[in-house]
Chains A and B, each alone.
Chain A
Amino acid sequence: MDPFLISVLSNIGLFSFLALSAWLLLIGGEISFGQQAYFAFGAYGGGIATAVWGWPFPLALLWGAGLGAGVGALVAWPAARLSGVHYAIATLAFAELTRASLNIFRYQRDVDGYLTGPDGANGFGDIRWVYETGIAPGTYLALIAGLLFAVITAIALASRFNLLAQLRMVGEDPILAGMQGLHVLRWKVGAAAAAGAIAGLGGGLYAHLATYVEPAQFSVMTGVHAVAYGLIGGLGTALGPILGVLIDIGLLESLRALAAYRMIVFGGLVALILILRPRGILDESLVAKVRAWARR
Chain B
Amino acid sequence: MLDLVQNTVDGIAAGAAYALLAIGFTLIFGVMRRLNIAFGPSIMVGVFLGAWVHAQWSAGLVGAAVATFIGALIASAYIERLSFAAIRGDAALASMASSFALWMQLEQGVALAFPGRTTAFPGLPALPDLETAGLFLRGDDIMILAVAGIVLIALHRLIYHSHFGLEMRALADNPEAARVAQVNTKRVAFLTFCLAATVGAVAGVLIAAADGQISPKFGLWATLKGLIAMMIGGLGSLRGALLGGLVLGVVEAQAQWYLGAAAREIIVYGLLFVCLILLPAGLAGVRDTGAARKL
Contact = CB atoms under 8 A, between A and B. Distances in A.
Contacts of B103: 267
Nearest to B99: A271
Interface residues on A, range: 35 or more
A85 to B, nearest CB: 5
Contact of A96 (B92, B101, B112, B269): B269
Nearest to A103: B262
Contact of B262 (A104, A263, A270, A278): A104
B96 A31 contact: yes
A273 to B, nearest CB: 9
A85 B295 contact: yes
A275 B83 CA distance: 8
Interface in A64-101: 78-79, 82-90, 92-94, 96-97, 100-101
A56 interface: no
B163 interface: no
Contact of B293 (A79, A83, A228, A278): A83
Contact of B87 (A83, A224, A227, A275): A275
Contacts of B224: 96, 220
A274 B94 contact: yes
B274 to A, nearest CB: 9
A53 B228 CA distance: 38
Interface in B274-295: 276-277, 280, 291-295
A275 B82 contact: yes
A263 to B, nearest CB: 4
A78 to B, nearest CB: 5
Question: How would you classify the secondary structure of chain A's contact residues: helix, strand, loop or mixed?
Answer: helix
A143 interface: no
B35 interface: yes
A221 B294 CA distance: 24
Given A267-B102, A279-B94, A90 B86 contact: no
B280 to A, nearest CB: 5
Given A31-B295, A271-B82, A100 B265 contact: yes
B149 interface: no
Contact of A93 (B105, B272, B291): B272
A84 B266 contact: no
B92 to A, nearest CB: 8
Contacts of B188: none
18 contacts: A79-B277, A83-B295, A84-B295, A88-B35, A89-B272, A100-B269, A220-B220, A221-B220, A228-B101, A231-B97, A264-B109, A267-B101, A267-B104, A267-B105, A270-B101, A270-B104, A274-B87, A278-B94
Interface of B: 29, 35, 37, 82-83, 86-88, 91-98, 100-105, 107-109, 112, 220, 224, 227-228, 231, 235, 262-263, 265-266, 269-270, 272-273, 276-277, 280, 291-295
